[in-house]
Structure 1
């Protein structure tokens, strides 16, 4: 009787161990994209027709973007303490496919930008993320090529 109990106990341990290993391997399969994390914007380049505007976001401003597997958020504010304070924020759902990063802007303090989707190519070299893509909103007459360079915060 004791041997049967021992075999039953070993069998139960084997089953539990198999279940634990299976769920562990399923978790390991979900690979995190290298674009997920918190990023600080260093430089932005906007090209509209023949006009190019380059903005250095390391001078008098802070701008971060947080990207998860399913959502993103960005926040920008100036570092000045005068009456012309600037604060910009937005976020929404996102998708990452190969080297494509797609934002569905669900929330933005510039409400006319909400509800639009923007697709960017991205490249990560070391701790630097570069995104490039066209931002187009016909109703606003916006059509610009946007290049942004970020450094990883975490």
Structure 2
């Protein structure tokens, strides 16, 4: 009897583990609100990192089918940093694809962007290519978010 209980305990531990990330059958839970901490852009051999832990803030929200982002500065003298957009997304394993449906720059609307996501504890990292030929954009972005708890 004790051996059976031990076997069941071991099997239950394996059942609770995430599947191998190389497979497409595991699920990342992105739903909720995420606060951007930093964003790194790699373009033309140059790297630039923006810190979002000060007056400049950005959040990204996810539900089952859509995402939205809002960015602004808490500096009362800076009204030019407001930005917002959103659209639909799909997530298959760690392959994240978003289609930007709403944005102030019409060259970006309707564009699809492919990223890789990684979540560890309350941290989400999004990495991929932003390419919008009409806007002259072709860069790698790496964004680090922290989940906002209820």
TM range (shorter): 0.7 to 0.9
Number of paired residues? 124
Q: 1:111, CA displacement in angstroms?
A: 2.5
Residue 85 of structure 1 and its aligned partner are, at CA, apart by 3.4
Unmatched 5+ residue regions in structure 1? 1-30
TM-score by length of 2: 0.78
- Paired residue for 1:61, among 35, 52, 56? 56
2:101 matches 1:106: yes
Whole-angstrom distance in 2 between the partners of 1:58 and 1:111: 29
Equivalent residue number for residue 147 of structure 1:
142
Alpha-carbon distance in 2 for matches of 1:47, 1:32: 28
CA deviations 1:69-120 (Å, max 9, x no partner) are: 2000000001111154321000011111100111100001223211101111
Structure number with greater Rg is 1
Q: Could you say which structure has the higher helix fraction?
A: 1
Q: In 1, are the aligned partners of 2:27 and 2:93 still within 8 Å (CA)?
A: no
RMSD of the alignment, in Å?
A: 1.6
In the alignment, what sits opposite 1:123?
A: 118
Secondary structure of the equivalent of 1:139? helix
Unmatched 5+ stretches in structure 2: 1-25
Which runs of structure 1 show a deviation greater than 3 angstroms over 4 or more consecutive aligned residues?
Answer: none
The equivalent residue for 1:88 is: 83
The reply to whether residue 51 of structure 1 matches residue 46 of structure 2 is yes
State the SS of the aligned residue for 2:107: helix
